[in-house]
Amino acid sequence: MLEKIKGGLVVSCQALPDEPLHSSFIMGRMALAAKQGGAVGIRAQSKEDIMEIKKTVDLPVIGIVKRNYPDSDIYITPTKKEIDELLETKCEMIALDATLRDRPNGEKLEDLVAYIHENGVLAMADCSTFEECVNAEKIGFDCVSTTLCGYTPYSVLVDGPNIPLLKKLVAELHTPILAEGKINTPEDLAAVYEAGVHSAVVGGAITRPKQITERFVKVLK
């Protein structure tokens, strides 16, 4: 899968229960639109959405399950339970929160990565800082990404991709770097590729029409 997505665009097709497009059928059609537009991979949330997407397009899928637990702030594929759900979908790669925060039930990041690999699936690290990416490489993740940059209380949120962080990761790590999060425009996508990343994931700017509408309406105020 890593070869297939190299240099291309992965489109994240997600809508949670509180979002207007929440529907596996709609996410399947979003994935089809992405494929017809030239995407080389899909990132998707939940077993149901991924099953539908896999019926609709033949692109490789990065699967996640977002779930909240009372004893942890981690919500992207937090435990083995979510990994088991994703394994049923036959997605090619599983992404999980790879921050150093405590996981639910005291589960350990390295055990989860080993478990994903035992099942013949690739593991993608969703990180928020440089140190977390370094740790993810050490643990044996197949690729590391900046998905959570700006979404942990201790990382910096910029309105756009964090280019300095991506450049540092490309220079100092050996694992493929995926840019993800706040790639809002085609120019942002060009900029992350200029920084030297292996691949890039775009979500809301393509698949969240409410967010896109808000961006237009904002200039009228």
Ligand X SMILES: CC(=O)N[C@H](C=O)[C@@H](O)[C@H](O)[C@H](O)COP(=O)(O)O
Q: In the complex with ligand X, which residue's Cβ is closer, 115 or 151?
A: 151
From the list 142, 185, 145, the residue with the least C-alpha distance to 166 is: 145
Q: Please identify which residue in 50, 121, 133, 183 interacts with ligand X, judged by CB under 6 A.
A: 183
Q: Is 176 in the site for ligand X (CB under 6 A)?
A: no
Q: Is 64 in the site for ligand X (CB under 6 A)?
A: yes
Q: Is 14 in the site for ligand X (CB under 6 A)?
A: yes
Q: Is 127 in the site for ligand X (CB under 6 A)?
A: no
From the list 82, 169, 158, the residue with the least C-alpha distance to 123 is: 82
Q: In the complex with ligand X, which residue's Cβ is closer, 103 or 182?
A: 182
Q: In the complex with ligand X, which residue's Cβ is closer, 118 or 216?
A: 216
Q: Please identify which residue in 53, 57, 181, 197 interacts with ligand X, judged by CB under 6 A.
A: 181
Q: Report yes or no: 143 and 122 within 8 Å, Cβ to Cβ.
A: yes
Size of the site for ligand X (CB under 6 A): 16
Helices then strands, counting H and E runs in the chain, come out as 10, 8
The contacts of residue 121 (CB under 8 Å, 6+ apart) are 86, 87, 91, 92, 93, 94
Q: Is 69 in the site for ligand X (CB under 6 A)?
A: no
Q: In the complex with ligand X, which residue's Cβ is closer, 118 or 153?
A: 153
d(CA 100, CA 131): 9
Burial (CB count within 10 angstroms: exposed 0-12, middle 13-18, buried 19+), residue 108: exposed
Q: What is the dihedral of CA 153, 159, 164, 165, to 10 degrees?
A: 40
Place of tokens 């994240």: 12
Q: In the complex with ligand X, which residue's Cβ is closer, 22 or 171?
A: 22
Q: Please identify which residue in 49, 52, 142, 180 interacts with ligand X, judged by CB under 6 A.
A: 180
Task: Write phi, then psi, for 25 (nearest 5 degrees).
Answer: -60, -50
Place of tokens 């509180």: 18
Q: Is 148 in the site for ligand X (CB under 6 A)?
A: yes
Q: In the complex with ligand X, which residue's Cβ is closer, 4 or 215?
A: 215
Choose the binding region for ligand X from 53-61, 133-141, 145-153, 212-220 (rule: CB under 6 A). Answer: 145-153
Q: Is 12 in the site for ligand X (CB under 6 A)?
A: yes
- Chain residues binding ligand X by CB under 6 A are 12, 14, 64, 76, 147-148, 151, 180-183, 201-205
